[in-house]
Amino acid sequence: MDIRPEFLALVLACAAVTAVPRVLPLLVLTRLRLPAWLLDWLSYVPVAILASLLSLETFSTAKAGLLAIGVALAVAAATRSLLGTVLAGVAVYWLLL
Q: How do residues 47-92 score in pLDDT, each as one tens digit? A: 898 888 888 877 776 788 888 888 998 999 999 898 999 999 999 9
Q: What is the pLDDT of residue 61?
A: 63
In the chain, the amino acid numbered 4 is R
DSSP state of 43: T
| Choice between 57 and 38, residue whose per-residue pLDDT is larger | 38
| Contact yes or no for 50/86 (Cβ under 8 A) | no
**For position 65, what pLDDT does the model report?**
84
How far apart are the C-alpha atoms of 76 and 53, rounded to whole Å? 16
Q: How confident is the model over 31-42, as a mean pLDDT?
A: 92
| pLDDT for residue 62 | 74
